């Protein structure tokens, strides 16, 4: 067989290897790529040939990723190692699942599960975008109208009162002051945020979601759902529990506390503790989850209970997001109502003052 991808779009484009980490795939493209890879392997096509086929597809980004992966495999690298070179395409969860497949030797089953999970994630993302679209449109439109009133209509309107000798009401003066300083303060805030983001490492930026009170619980549930699902797949393929934990810990999870718990869990498992005992850390694993794992161990169905726990955590994430969105729209309307009412009142108060002075 010819070298993988030597005639594909990537070779034609001449994209150097150093730009591999700049490749980006949309969620739908990644889901479709995973589905196509599973279908090709299921029909008896070898892994290198499968990537060769994908590298000749119409989607240039998918073709670039497939060519890179095929080339790395032909050079003797493992699939997980090649995937890790495309961090903006394959996230940690995808890598953990592929490492689980390499450990268990069940790539087809893991790809099928990944395909289903990615499809579910993409549907969730589209539903989230659809729910945010209307409030975002209302916010942008209202801010644009407010800016037009403040910066275009209000100055000309207030110039009428300049020669009257009347002092402007406090609310009107405050609005004028805000209109003068808001652009500068906004630019300063944006510049400050850029400095903070650039000065942090990717690991530090990834930990921000665990430090924000209103995101901490959601981020924990999301990470634990992926952990439970991957560990369940490893155990279902009869991988020893110590090896399964080592596979999950390899390369880091992106959550420092979870990494520490898994590192300690390896030693505690070797000392004879059960899985639920070795993972006992109230800051990472909630008690109901540990009780679920313990029940699975007693019933001899640890993997099934872990899968169930993963699905429950995913559903809880969905419910949390839906609850946030249900509160977002009325909160946004209330905020905009206060802003618009303040602007209108600030514009009308000078008129009332002038009428009273006549």
pLDDT in tens, 160-207: 766 666 677 888 888 777 777 777 777 777 788 777 666 655 555 555
**Phi-psi category of 34—alpha, beta or left, where left has phi over 0 and alpha has psi -120 to 50?**
alpha
Q: Which domain holds residue 22?
A: 9-90
Confidence of residue 15 (pLDDT cuts 50, 70, 90): very low
pLDDT tens per residue across span 112-132: 888 887 887 788 778 778 777
30/74 same-domain check: yes
CATH label of the domain that carries residue 75: 1.20.81.30
Residue 101 counted as domain residue: no
86/130 same-domain check: no
From 126, 156, 171, select the one nearest 345 (Cα to Cα): 171
83/129 same-domain check: no
Write out the two tokens for 11.
């070779």
Query: d(Cα 59, Cα 87) in Å, to the nearest integer?
Result: 19
Q: Which whole-number Å values give the CA distances from 45 to 32, 34, 83, 140, 284, in the listed order?
A: 17, 14, 20, 50, 42
194/83 same-domain check: no
240/332 same-domain check: yes
Among 57, 90, 123, identify where a domain stops. Answer: 90
Write out the two tokens for 300.
């001899």
* pLDDT of residue 2 exceeding 60: no
Query: d(Cα 30, Cα 26) in Å, to the nearest integer?
Result: 6
pLDDT of 1 reads 35
38/122 same-domain check: no
Residue 209 counted as domain residue: yes
Confidence of residue 12 (pLDDT cuts 50, 70, 90): very low
184/224 same-domain check: yes
pLDDT of 196 reads 66
Write out the two tokens for 194.
């850029």
| Number of domains within the chain | 2
Residue 265 counted as domain residue: yes
pLDDT of 8 reads 41
43/126 same-domain check: no
116/59 same-domain check: no
Q: What is the mean pLDDT of residues 220-224?
A: 86
16 membership: H or E segment, kind and range: none
Looking at every residue in the chain, the average pLDDT score rounds to 80
75/131 same-domain check: no
pTM of the model: 0.67
* pLDDT of residue 137 exceeding 60: yes
Among 27, 58, 90, identify where a domain stops. Answer: 90
pLDDT tens per residue across span 315-343: 888 888 888 888 887 888 888 888 888 88
Share of the chain above pLDDT 90, in %: 17
Would you call 181 exposed, middle or buried from its count of C-beta atoms within 10 A (0-12, 13-18, 19+)?
A: exposed
């Amino acid at each position: 067989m010819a070298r993988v991808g030597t005639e594909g779009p990537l070779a034609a484009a001449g994209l150097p290897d150093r730009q591999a980490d700049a490749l980006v795939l949309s969620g739908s493209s990644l889901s479709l790529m995973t589905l196509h890879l599973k279908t090709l392997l299921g029909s008896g096509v070898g892994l290198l040939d499968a990537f060769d086929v994908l590298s000749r597809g119409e989607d240039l980004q998918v073709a670039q990723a497939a060519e890179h992966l095929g080339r790395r495999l032909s050079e003797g690298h493992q699939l997980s190692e090649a995937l890790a070179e495309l961090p903006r395409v394959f996230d940690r969860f995808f890598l953990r699942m592929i490492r689980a497949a390499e450990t268990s030797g069940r790539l087809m089953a893991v790809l099928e599960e990944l395909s289903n999970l990615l499809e579910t994630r993409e549907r969730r993302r589209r539903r989230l975008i659809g729910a945010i679209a209307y409030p975002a449109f209302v916010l942008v439109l209202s801010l644009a109208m407010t800016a037009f009133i403040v910066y275009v209509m209000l100055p000309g309107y207030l110039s009428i009162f300049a020669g009257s000798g009347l002092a402007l009401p406090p609310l009107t003066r405050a609005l004028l002051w805000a209109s003068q300083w808001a652009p500068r303060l906004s630019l300063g805030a944006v510049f400050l945020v850029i400095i903070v983001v650039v000065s942090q490492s990717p690991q530090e930026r990834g930990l921000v979601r665990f430090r924000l009170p209103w995101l901490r619980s959601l981020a924990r549930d999301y990470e634990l759902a992926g952990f439970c699902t991957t560990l369940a797949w490893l155990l279902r393929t009869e991988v020893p529990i110590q090896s399964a934990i080592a596979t999950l810990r390899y390369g880091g999870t992106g959550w420092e506390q979870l990494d520490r718990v898994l590192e300690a869990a390896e030693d505690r498992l070797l000392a004879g503790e059960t899985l639920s005992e070795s993972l006992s850390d109230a800051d990472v694993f909630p008690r109901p989850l540990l009780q679920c794992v313990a029940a699975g161990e007693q019933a001899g169905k640890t993997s099934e209970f872990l899968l169930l726990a993963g699905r429950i955590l995913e559903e809880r994430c969905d419910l949390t997001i839906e609850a946030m969105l249900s509160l977002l729209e009325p909160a946004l309307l209330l905020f905009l109502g206060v802003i618009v009412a303040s602007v209108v009142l600030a514009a009308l108060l000078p008129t009332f003052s002038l009428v009273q002075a006549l």
